[in-house]
């Protein structure tokens, strides 16, 4: 091969090789376009950096934040004897209030005014990429122990835009920094799912109105929530709960200051509600 042809091939192939290498690297680190749009939109519009305690009782919040989970105890405690303090007369229209991120970019609360039109299915939803504070994914016994835990469940948040305004045709909440916190797989999949199912059943009733409030409870400046405070109530009187779920995982101990974890086989977790029972 003569020198001119070699030189020509180098000029053609070098940019292609560079594009392939850098392109692959960029693809690995880039977020899906819609996810990035959601995240950018929320962070751009989120100017308030203080918790608005008008939407929940700060005294109760501080008490819950002070609680220590005792090995083997129930992962759920009743608040106010299990009775919601939410007022149905606050339900004016379908809307979700996403509390602003605080000064550490932590979630605060979500209050949802929802009905049957806000129900949807989980199948086929996109993968989420937002990493909330305290996120340090890890697998124990082959299973991921961290979840990007929705405050308001994806399946109860259809037909709302990223800011919580009713908008027909919108999918459920995804990659909204105000609606995702670092949650243990157990807390999310075993405990919170139980209460979310109760909310969905109430939503399924024609003409019923539901208020569902979720508060992430942090202690001091810790980056991982100590727990989730859940309340719900409906107009027809079929739904009424007020509970606090500890953000814990069997066989694992969390450092809530950072969100990091370590394996501890002596860590036992218990949860029992009606026909559902778990103890490791």
Strands 95-98 and 109-114: antiparallel
Q: Is residue 213 a contact partner of residue 110, using CB atoms and an 8 Å limit?
A: yes
Residue 242 has phi, psi (to 5 degrees) of: -150, 100
User: What does the DSSP 8-state code read for residue 269?
Assistant: -
Q: What is the pTM of this model?
A: 0.83
Q: Which two tokens stand for residue 197?
A: 């199912």
Residue 44 in contact with residue 160, Cβ under 8 Å?
Answer: no
With 0-12 / 13-18 / 19 or more C-beta atoms within 10 angstroms meaning exposed / middle / buried, residue 87 is: exposed
Q: Are 120 and 186 in contact (CB under 8 A)?
A: no
Q: Work out whether strand 210-217 and strand 180-184 pair parallel, antiparallel, or are unpaired.
A: unpaired
**Per-residue confidence in pLDDT tens, the chain, 280 aa:** 555 444 444 544 444 444 443 343 333 344 555 666 667 666 666 654 444 556 789 999 999 999 999 999 999 999 999 999 999 999 999 999 999 999 999 999 999 999 999 999 987 667 888 999 999 999 999 999 999 999 999 999 999 999 999 999 999 999 999 999 999 999 999 999 999 999 999 999 999 999 999 999 999 999 999 999 999 999 999 999 999 999 999 999 999 999 999 999 999 999 987 667 777 8
Q: Tell me, what's the pLDDT at 17?
A: 46
CA dist list (Å): 180 to 4, 105, 266: 58, 11, 29
Q: Are 229 and 57 in contact (CB under 8 A)?
A: no
Half-sphere exposure of 27 (CA within 13 A, CB side): 6
What distances in angstroms separate CA 36 from CA 41, 74, 178, 216, 273, one per listed residue?
A: 8, 38, 14, 23, 38
Q: Residue 42 has what pLDDT?
A: 67
Structural domains in the chain, CATH included, are 31-279 (3.40.570.10)
Q: According to the model, what pLDDT value does residue 24 have?
A: 38
In the prediction, which pLDDT does 122 show? 83
- CA-CA-CA-CA torsion sign (185, 189, 190, 192): positive
pLDDT at 126: 75
Do the beta carbons of residue 248 and residue 72 sit within 8 Å?
A: no
């Amino acid at each position: 091969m003569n020198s001119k042809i070699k030189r020509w091939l180098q000029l053609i192939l070098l940019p292609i090789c560079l594009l392939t290498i850098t392109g692959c690297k960029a693809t690995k680190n880039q977020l899906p376009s819609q996810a990035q749009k959601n995240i950018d939109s929320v962070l751009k519009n989120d100017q308030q950096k203080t918790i608005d305690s008008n939407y929940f009782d700060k005294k109760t919040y501080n008490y819950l934040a002070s609680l220590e989970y005792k090995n083997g105890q129930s992962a759920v405690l009743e608040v106010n004897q299990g009775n919601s303090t939410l007022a149905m007369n606050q339900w004016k229209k379908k809307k979700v209030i996403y509390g602003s991120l605080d000064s550490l970019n932590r979630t605060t609360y979500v209050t949802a005014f929802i009905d049957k039109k806000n129900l949807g299915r989980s199948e086929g939803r996109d993968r989420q990429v937002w990493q909330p504070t305290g996120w340090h994914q890890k697998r124990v016994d082959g299973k991921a122990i961290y979840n990007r835990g929705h405050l308001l469940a994806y399946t109860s948040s259809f037909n709302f835009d990223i800011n919580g305004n009713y908008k027909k045709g919108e999918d459920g909440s995804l990659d909204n920094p105000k609606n995702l916190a670092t949650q243990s797989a157990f807390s999310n999949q075993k405990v919170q799912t139980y209460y979310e199912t109760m909310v969905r059943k109430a939503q399924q009733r024609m003409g019923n109105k539901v208020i569902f409030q979720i508060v992430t409870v942090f202690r001091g400046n810790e980056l991982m929530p100590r727990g989730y405070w859940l309340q719900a109530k409906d107009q027809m009187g079929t739904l009424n709960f007020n509970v606090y779920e500890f953000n814990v995982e069997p066989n694992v101990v969390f450092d809530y200051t950072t969100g990091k974890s370590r394996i501890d086989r002596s860590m036992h977790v218990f949860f029992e509600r009606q026909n559902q029972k778990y103890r490791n």
